[in-house]
Amino acid sequence: MKYKKVLVIMSVLAMLAGVMGCKEKEALKEEPVKQETVQKQEKPEEQEENNAVEGAEVEQEAQEVPANENLLTGLGDLSEGAIGKRPVAVMVNNVEKAMPQYGVGQADLIFEIPVEGDATRFMAMYGDYTKVPKVCPIRSCRYYFPALSQGFDAFYVNWGIDDTIAEYLEALDLDQIEGITNTGGLFGRDQDKLNQGYALEHTGFFDGTKLASYIEAQGLRTDLKEDKKGAAFQFYGMEEQVKPEGQDCTQVDIDFGAQSSSFTYDAEKQVYLKNINGSAQVDGKTGEQLAFTNVFVLETEISVRDEVGHKKLDWDGASDAKGYYVSNGGVQEITWSKEENNENSYLKFYDINGREIKINRGKSYIALNYKNQAVFK
């Protein structure tokens, strides 16, 4: 009996030891859980620190944008006297018989749009009114060009107009510098082109080097309107080069009707080189091919409005106005618009979800053209 009692007591002690051992093991298992709980409690503080770092990075990026930012390109290349001042839009002949042009290679932004007979015309824009070059050949105005230039608060330069739009231009309150009526010595005929047998309409030049002194002498407003003092587009950071969301694109072909434009991507320089009717389009003074960081193809409604062949063109787009943004080896489908019937509004670009897109800093080319007339390869 004593022996049995001893066995019972030993069994009970063993059971108690086992229970205590299990509890100790459970306690050991719980320790990492307690540590994890502590870590979770610390995460909001870490998140605040991360947010602070990200905020500092955003602030630093904002600080990196130079005071002399060119509002058309986002680059820091304005002269001190052009900061906060108005850009200049210049109408340029763009038919093959007028080639080569000159002064267009220095443009910060070029619009190409069809005119009569589906030839095209350039509106070359310069962000620094003190550094506009001599530009040739200058051509006449069509109403949709100043409808676009007004959104940039630009001086508008042309030689001749479509007489049917005189009242419209007057209603725009346009700061227009016009070659036929101007007596400031800003316009003339290029004698070398005349000697080479160019037709008269392909020889007119605008001497942009005299523009700043002319504007001062005339007392024209140079300061940008308050709502135009920011960048014309939403740009990525100064050091960023972002590929648009979409497919690869190293070649763009645009058919305007009577002529074509095409662009080939130079991956080393990260620009698209422009051709006209299959040949390199170069600046006659520098010999350099026109090159753009950004290429936009904006589809719109275009029709003939009179017996002369003048065009009616939807220049303000809409939420369903289709377009394409090409840059850095890629192409993205977009929509585009200005405020309806508001020439003074910005031209804006949106992704397919309706969010305004950012673009790379650099020169831009913008085509407004018939629908489904561009191929992206």
pLDDT in tens, 101-133: 999 999 999 999 999 999 999 999 999 999 999
Q: At 212, give phi and psi (nearest 5°).
A: -60, -45
How many CA atoms, within 13 angstroms, populate the side-chain half-sphere of residue 145?
30
How much is the pTM? Answer: 0.84
CA–CA separation, 274 and 94 (whole Å)? 13
Token pair of 81 as six digits: 């006297």
Q: What percentage of the chain carries pLDDT values higher than 90?
A: 81
Within 10 angstroms of residue 142's Cβ, the number of other Cβ atoms is: 22
Residues 189-205 have pLDDT tens digits of 999 999 999 999 999 99
Predicted pLDDT at 16: 40
Q: b/e for 79-91, b at 16 or more Cβ within 10 A?
A: eeebbebbbbbbb
Token pair of 8 as six digits: 């019972």
Q: How many degrees, rounded to 5, is the angle at CA 301 between CA 104 and CA 308?
A: 75
Predicted pLDDT at 60: 46
In the chain, alpha helices (H): 2-64, 144-149, 166-171, 191-195, 211-218
Q: Is the pLDDT of residue 47 over 70?
A: no
Complete domains list, the chain, with CATH = 80-376 (3.50.90.10)
Residue range 351-357: average pLDDT? Answer: 96
Q: At 90, give phi and psi (nearest 5°).
A: -125, 125
Residue 358 corresponds to which amino acid? K
Q: What percentage of the chain carries pLDDT values higher than 70?
A: 83
